[in-house]
């Protein structure tokens, strides 16, 4: 039985839980992090020295970077489908997974924390708006890639969608007056058709 340690409201936990749900894999999840704590306890740090969430346990395999976990799950349980067997095709998908880490995350963190986790009187709107503008530039890049595609990898859900799916939901939920991105909008609407996405990602922001 797969064990996933991490709270449901963590975007990084969402990536992993969502792919587990899409693949109908049996798993147990334990609330860790945020208001639940436990992520600084020694037994947790023995599994995950970063003290962050999620931590993923599948038999003797213990992993603690969310995109790595998504790759592992897809390669083990959906090889040839969500994770293409062709190394070149898989690398093209992993490119967007890495893009989420080095481009999207640095933009999204000050936007999300600034609006959702900061009191209105303490919000730094200059920083927030600067990063929203950057986000609009980044989503335009993805919009160009998505021309003629239903999902990031083409006509079906793949490993590339899981890191970015939770972020696009949050960005759309907390920003207004966005430039037109019809291809991103189509992709996002396709994600929303998934019961697993609705259950795991489309929950109240915290």
Give me the domains of the chain, ranges plus CATH numbers. Answer: 2-77 (3.40.30.10), 87-198 (1.20.1050.10)
Q: What is the mean pLDDT of the chain?
A: 98
User: What does each C-alpha distance from 99 to 13, 47, 172, 173 come to in angstroms?
Assistant: 18, 27, 19, 21
| pLDDT(86) > 90 | yes
**Structure confidence at residue 206 (pLDDT):** 85
For range 45-56, the mean pLDDT: 98
For range 131-151, the mean pLDDT: 98
**Structure confidence at residue 143 (pLDDT):** 98
For residue 97, give every residue at least 6 positions away whose Cβ sits within 8 Å of its Cβ, in sequence order, or none: 67, 70, 71, 159, 160, 162, 163
pLDDT tens digit string along 5-17? 999 999 999 999 9
For the record, the structure tokens of 54 come out as 């999620």
pLDDT tens digit string along 67-80? 999 999 999 999 99
pTM of the model: 0.97
3-state secondary structure of 61: strand
3-state secondary structure of 28: strand
| pLDDT(109) > 90 | yes
Buried b (16+ CB within 10 A) or exposed e, 126-159: eebeebbebbbebbeebbebbeeebbbbeeebbb
Give the confidence band of 105 by pLDDT, cuts at 50, 70, 90. Answer: very high
């Amino acid at each position: 039985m797969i064990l996933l340690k991490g709270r449901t409201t963590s975007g990084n936990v969402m990536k992993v839980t969502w792919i587990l749900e899409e693949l109908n894999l049996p798993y147990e999840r334990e609330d860790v992090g945020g208001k639940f704590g436990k992520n600084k306890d020694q037994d947790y740090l023995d599994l995950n020295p970063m003290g962050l969430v999620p931590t993923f346990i599948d038999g003797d395999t213990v992993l603690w970077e969310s995109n790595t976990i998504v790759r592992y799950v897809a390669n083990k349980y959906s090889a040839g489908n969500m994770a293409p067997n062709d190394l070149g095709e898989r690398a093209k998908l992993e490119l967007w997974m890495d893009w989420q880490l080095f481009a999207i995350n640095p933009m999204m963190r000050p936007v999300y924390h600034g609006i959702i986790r900061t009191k209105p009187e303490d919000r730094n709107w200059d920083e927030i708006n600067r990063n929203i503008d950057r986000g609009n530039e980044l989503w335009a890049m993805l919009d160009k890639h998505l021309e003629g595609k239903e999902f990031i990898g083409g006509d079906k859900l793949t490993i590339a969608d899981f890191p970015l799916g939770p972020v696009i939901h949050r960005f759309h939920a907390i920003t207004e007056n966005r430039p037109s991105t019809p291809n991103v909008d189509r992709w996002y609407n396709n994600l929303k058709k998934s019961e697993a996405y609705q259950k795991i990602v489309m929950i109240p922001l915290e």
